[in-house]
Amino acid sequence: MAGTSNKAAVTELSPVTSLRGVGTALAEKLATLDIRTIQDVLFHLPFRYEDRTQTIPLGSLQAGMRAVVEGEIQLSEVAFRGRRQLLVRISDDSGWLTLRFFHFGAAQQTQLARGTRLRCFGEVRSGPQTLEMVHPEYRRITGTSDSPDNDTLTPIYPASEGLQQARLRQLSTAALETLRQHSIHDWLPVDLLPDARWPTLQAALLYVHRPPPDARLELMAAGRHPAQRRLAFEELLAQQLSLRQLRQDIKRDASYALQQGHELLQQFRSSLPFQLTAAQQRVWQEIERDLAQPQPMLRLVQGDVGSGKTVVAALAALKAVACGMQAALMAPTELLAEQHARNFQRWLAPLNIEVVLLTGKHTGKTRTAILESLALGTARIAIGTHALFQSEVVFSKLAVVIIDEQHRFGVHQRLLLREKGLDAGHYPHQLIMTATPIPRTLAMSAYADLDVSVIDELPPGRTPVQTVVVPDSRRDEIVQRVREACLQQRQVYWVCPLIEESELLSAQAAEETYTTLRAALPELRIELLHGRMNGKQKDAVMEQFKSHQADVLVATTVIEVGVDVPNASVMVIENAERMGLAQLHQLRGRVGRGSAQSSCVLLYQYPLSEVARTRLRIMRETNDGFEIARYDLEIRGPGELLGTRQTGLVQLRVADLMRDADLLPQVQKAADTLLRDHPEKVEPLLKRWIGQSEQFGKV
């Protein structure tokens, strides 16, 4: 492959093995990073840079620095200090440094002989005798010739086991060489770029892989350099196109047009103890219009905690039933699924509609009976956890799929449930609900495959929750407040945190609090709820709390989503400093559902990190889910906030949805133009940025 005659044939789509020094063994390792072609190497972008253009005198080193040093080897010896290791002492005019290697071969040992000059890079630590570097990157230097890594800032690439930085840098050097010789196909028409001063694609790639020493490291670190912006724009565009393509694919399918049932829906609405808010009505109209179409609905309903999404979901489910079909609602926790099932049963039993609950807890005969009723179609609405899309579950005519608290699921799970509904070439309509409100431009990017409706109004009569932040040392005062509240016929949630992802430890912590609270408040009825209890026990406790046969519910974060007991008006959250904003907001949303003044007590323990302090302040200052989400975005970034759904988004290479938010409107426009005028450029762009493995496609 390497002969000169083949040179002209090398393009960015040639396999990595056409690069100098890449054999099949390395190619296999690269494949684990999804790097298969020269283009993949070029778009495997550095995620940070180090300034190694300055050599630091050994005498000025301090522990904690990452630095380039040069020196001559004075001593090289294998030592046994608990473990076999190679110790190399280097010096220059100003001082000493020890290099320590735990893994080393014989060849390396002879290379590192006394008298050899080395240039090293690594993190400086204090050692037993001198400062030292453990496993530094190093190179022997001969004569005075300046080394190439002195000319540019050093890029740091996402690495993997067995693929070190030095290797990745060699590789990109080779790929950049072909880029210089052959350039690269630029799929973006120039007039689509929002800024005419941006460099060309070729120049941008050369720059981000090898920024010159005068590049401003802060600008690069902040991702604000025009070369980075040029690439970020293209990446966001590719993301946008990929989601729109998913949408187009789904929209090409057929669905049953649900157009009947006006009377049944009317009957249901008038049986409710309240009127829909204007926002609920508007959103329902949008949904109803979608459901009447012969293509699948793809609609996301955003609404703050307590805005009343459940009843809107019930309307959509009922619409399916009214048209002789089935609906399924999937919730992320058993507790929430159980609550939804109870609500739906209460609402729909008078209309003679059978609602079944299916979770992992249902086994044996019960399970068989549920599955049978779904397959036969006697059960009209199924409510459950991910148990719903397991292979034994067969629906009779599933026309509407509802996903509650969407950020807890992945896009794949949603698509799996959709597959369940395939019936004679018809796919179900999808309604997706989330309480994580995000700014509009961001929503348009993150949810480009969905239509978005917003319930931007709370039901009337709610009073905002008052939040106080209290150190755990004042716990006794809070216990007394709980007592007073309960003596005034109010109910209290006391939430204990999740410990290290362990349900068992969390349950134990909750049990402990439960025991101490019982001892401190013998006159109150205190109940306990945690994830290790079985469905029946949980049900019984929830029912007791709902019907006010319990005053205090001590619980783990299992009650985080969805739980609805309007008479509960005090929420105490222990170790609030460990929780994220979204979680705190969700938990707090469990109170403030009735007309009584509600309060939320955030108990914290020292030490408080800067981030935790900020979070608690934000919680105290605002009840507005949108505002909280905005802060959350700043603190955590969109990847985490949006949850597992957008694996593609989480793995953006240069772009950052927050930082580059100003580009999003132009990204939208560019996507429109490209799809309309240059549809043939979409596929190659997706291939370049998203790769085969991450494209969502149908399951």
Question: Which residues of this chain interact with Mg ion, rule CB under 5 A?
Answer: 562
Closer to ligand ADP by CB, 303 or 643: give it. 303
Pairing of strands 48-50, 552-555: unpaired
One character per residue 280-299, x = contact with ligand ADP (rule: CB under 6 A): x-------------------
Q: Are 436 and 407 in contact (CB under 8 A)?
A: yes
Looking at beta carbons only, is 15 or 566 nearer to ligand ADP?
Answer: 566
In the sheet that holds 381-384, the strands lie side by side as 355-358, 381-384, 326-330, 398-403, 429-434, 298-303, 451-455
For residues 20 and 71, what is the distance between their CA atoms, to the nearest angstrom? 31
* Burial of 447: CB neighbours in 10 Å, binned 0-12, 13-18, 19+: buried
- For residues 594 and 691, which CB has a smaller minimum distance to ligand ADP in the complex? 594
Q: Determine which residue in the list 229, 319, 530, 593 makes contact with ligand ADP, applying CB under 6 A.
A: 593
Site for ligand ADP contains 421 (CB under 6 A): no
Report the residue number whose CB is nearest to Mg ion: 562
Q: Interface with ligand ADP includes 586 (CB under 6 A)?
A: no
Q: How far apart are CA 645 and CA 640, in angstroms?
A: 10
Closest CB to ligand ADP: residue number: 308
Which residues neighbour 558 within 8 Å (Cβ) at sequence distance 6 or greater? 333, 335, 529, 530, 531
By a kind-dependent CB cut-off of 5 to 8 A, residue 384 interacts, out of Mg ion, ligand ADP, none, with none
Q: Does 594 bind ligand ADP (CB under 6 A)?
A: no
- Per partner kind, with CB cut-offs from 5 to 8 A, the member of Mg ion, ligand ADP, none near residue 483 is none
What one-character-per-residue DSSP string does 659-690 give?
TTGGGHHHHHHHHHHHHHH-GGGHHHHHHHHT
Tell me how crowded residue 513 is: count the other CB atoms within 10 A of its CB.
Answer: 20
Nearest to 293 by CA among 135, 451, 97: 451
Q: Which does 618 bind (CB under 5 to 8 A by kind): Mg ion, ligand ADP, none?
A: none
Nearest Cα neighbor of 671 from 394, 663, 584 is 663
Residue 47 interacts with, from ligand ADP, Mg ion, none (CB under 5-8 Å by kind): none
Under rule CB under 6 A, residue 305 binds ligand ADP: yes
Residues 386, 341, 277: CA angle, nearest 5 degrees: 110
Among residues 280 and 326, whose Cβ is nearest to ligand ADP? 280
In terms of CB distance, is 593 or 645 closer to ligand ADP? Answer: 593
Helix (H, G, I), strand (E, B) or coil at 549: coil
Number of residues that bind ligand ADP (CB under 6 A): 19
Instruction: Pick the closer one to ligand ADP by CB: 303 or 421.
Output: 303
Q: Which stretch binds ligand ADP (CB under 6 A): 61-69, 204-212, 301-309, 440-448?
A: 301-309
Pairing of strands 552-555, 568-573: unpaired
Kindly state the smallest distance separating residue 329's Cβ from ligand ADP, in Å.
12
Toward ligand ADP, which CB reaches closer, 18 or 453? Answer: 453
Distance of closest approach, residue 557 Cβ to Mg ion, in angstroms: 16
Measured in whole angstroms, how far is the alpha carbon of residue 287 from the centre of its chain? 27
Q: Does 599 bind ligand ADP (CB under 6 A)?
A: no
Give 98's strand partners. Answer: 89, 132
Per CB under 6 A, does 175 bind ligand ADP?
no
Can residue 192 be called a binding residue for ligand ADP (CB under 6 A)? no
> Which residues of this protein are in contact with ligand ADP, per CB under 6 A?
274-277, 280, 303, 305-311, 435, 459, 562, 564, 566, 593
